[in-house]
Amino acid sequence: MAIGLPKDFEPAKVEKIYEGINALARRHKVAIVGGETTTSPERIFISISLIGFVPRGKALLRSGAKVGDAIFVTGELGGSLAGKHLDFEPRLPRPAGWRSISPFTR
């Protein structure tokens, strides 16, 4: 979990945020591991990643969406289909012996 806070954010509010997140974690039997705290110039941000397992046949998939369901996305749709996620320039040189795991070799 990462949290970014403006410099003038009240410590009591941070404690309330963590109390709420911990309560949800307990309710859903999720362990919170690791974390990062930083400053944010304007607003608070929270980033949480979850890793786990779902019993076979119990996962909620996009293919199961029905009319009236709320679906939330960020960014533009279709980028993967256009291949934009498969074509990028690494910011650092690859080390000797590097093997690409991409389906397209360069």
pLDDT tens-digit readout, 43-60:
899 999 888 888 999 988
Which parts of 48-92 fold into alpha helices (H)?
none
Q: Which residue has the tokens 């980033």?
A: 47
Low-confidence ranges of the chain (pLDDT < 50): 104-106
Q: 15: helix, coil or strand?
A: helix
Give the integer Cα–Cα distance in Å for 21 and 55. 24
Q: How far apart are the first and last CA of the chain?
A: 34
What pLDDT score was predicted for residue 102?
53
Instruction: Judge whether 5 and 37 are in contact, CB under 8 Å.
Output: yes
Tokens of 98: 């590097």
What pLDDT score was predicted for residue 61?
84
Give the integer Cα–Cα distance in Å for 47 and 4. 9
What is the number of alpha carbons within 13 Å of residue 43 lying toward its C-beta? 2
What pLDDT score was predicted for residue 50?
85
